[in-house]
A and B are shown apart, each in its own frame.
Chain A
């Protein structure tokens, strides 16, 4: 490997723009033959023009760029593509397990503080169970899908034939010998493969929706009691006023018949 005279402009025009999310070794390894085309961010201008607007834009850009360039974001984007259900449950965990309790507790109303604590604990427990159950059930299945669609290790003869046809048409496309009809066929085949992949990854969510809901309902009271130390007191006379859909908002939920079953709407 030989790299010569890489110019780094160290004047104020040059911003230290940490674009890379992979290691330098990784890039050097794979980008050797592109040195002459490689962009070293020398055109990124820190905009020291004295204009506050430009400075504000720079700061804003840097914040978003920091997130996008971080390794965790890249990993999470990959996780979202490979594990749709699990990633969705993880986002639900952040929203229901962190943001919702914070908002519930921040809302005014001293009277129903106990209900608020219970609702917050309920939201957290529901988020945790949803994530754990979804991840435990779907992760091996997602891995098996990856082995068929991406690694092409498994799959029926018919599926492998379709893959071979796509590969052949792609080669023709690269060589420029592909006909208009074949190009259309390739486009349709690729779209169908992508749709099949999305459906297969998400159908387990439909299958596990009911047992997961039942399991969540069954596990929430013991988790609230033994993990969070919360236990709902019986209030037969006074109706509940809460901000949580899933637990105590509706007064009829206190009836004996509903003690085993609580209302909620939404994804999980």
Chain B
């Protein structure tokens, strides 16, 4: 190993000649290299204490993969659904929405099925629950759509960090800007010609990472590390949806929406009661 570092900007020929500065150098000591190797090995091996647990967990997940998940992957219905939804850019968001439809539906069903509950109250309350869910879901999708543009930039920035390339982000922005400009032109032309515009798709950080020389080098030298890097970049997309939907469902709705919704519900019930009383009097 031979490493030579010149770590300041004064390292120019003129300065060196005038000051007879020595060029820094480092020749690796074989014992240090050996120690580094041992440390690297040690960091990759599992602790003896946890080994029985990790082995048992691995065996369990192997069995699940072999006996259950691999069969689930082959299900015709699931494959049909994947084929139909493969072009959806919001597939993960739809999955989350289905999950909350099930939960909210359960609560609504329980409200409606409750025999000991006033009929006058349970219908509006179930509608209130349903409306709150519907409005917040629309809100979550809208917020997610608006956050996407900014989050894509953040993803490119994050990818730049992973690749150790701070030009990556600027290049991404440049490409994005160019495509946005082109799309504007296409839209304007389509408006004049009264045709449907064929817009170009915006650059994706994952696609740019795939073409990056550092990623290509990783693929050649260590496929596992390349996969980890790509998983991190891909993880940014579900992370956005999780934050947006989580914020709407778990924070905004309980804190901000529920109180006014319940107040409206109470007002409606009071109004209905008053109306009934006046009708009865008449």
Contacts and interface: CB of A to CB of B under 8 A. Distances in A.
Interface of A: 1-11, 14, 17, 19-22, 25-27, 29-31, 33-34, 37-39, 41, 43-44, 64-65, 68-69, 73-74, 76-82, 84, 87-88, 91-92, 95-96, 99-100, 103-104, 123, 127, 140-141, 143-145, 147-148, 150, 153-156, 158-159, 188, 191-192, 194-196, 198-200, 202-203, 205-206, 209-210, 213, 243-246, 249-250, 252, 255-258, 261, 263-268
B86 A96 contact: no
Contacts of A252: 117, 121, 125
Given A30-B221, A95-B247, A144-B68, A77 B235 contact: yes
Interface string B72-101: 111000110111011110011001101110
B132 interface: yes
Contacts of A147: 61-62, 65, 69
Nearest to B65: A144
Interface residue tally on B, bucketed by range: 35 or more
30 contacts: A2-B1, A7-B11, A10-B9, A19-B161, A27-B164, A64-B154, A68-B154, A77-B158, A81-B238, A87-B242, A88-B242, A140-B60, A148-B73, A150-B227, A153-B62, A154-B62, A158-B74, A194-B86, A196-B73, A199-B78, A199-B91, A200-B78, A202-B92, A206-B95, A209-B103, A213-B107, A261-B110, A263-B107, A265-B133, A266-B133
A34 to B, nearest CB: 5
Contacts of B40: 25
Interface string B252-267: 0111001100100000
Given A3-B3, A140-B57, A245-B254, A192 B86 contact: yes
Given A20-B164, A81-B234, A213-B103, A265 B98 contact: no
Secondary structure of the A contact surface, majority rule: helix
A191 B87 contact: yes
Contact of A267 (B86, B100, B162, B232): B100
B245 A267 contact: yes
A26 B225 contact: yes
B184 to A, nearest CB: 26
B8 interface: yes
Nearest to A33: B217
B52 interface: no
Nearest to A198: B91
Given A37-B213, A188-B86, A213-B103, A80 B96 contact: no
Given A34-B213, A267-B250, A148 B70 contact: yes
A209 B102 contact: yes
A241 B179 CA distance: 52
Given A100-B255, A148-B73, A210 B157 contact: no
Contact of A99 (B91, B218, B251): B251
B99 A202 contact: yes
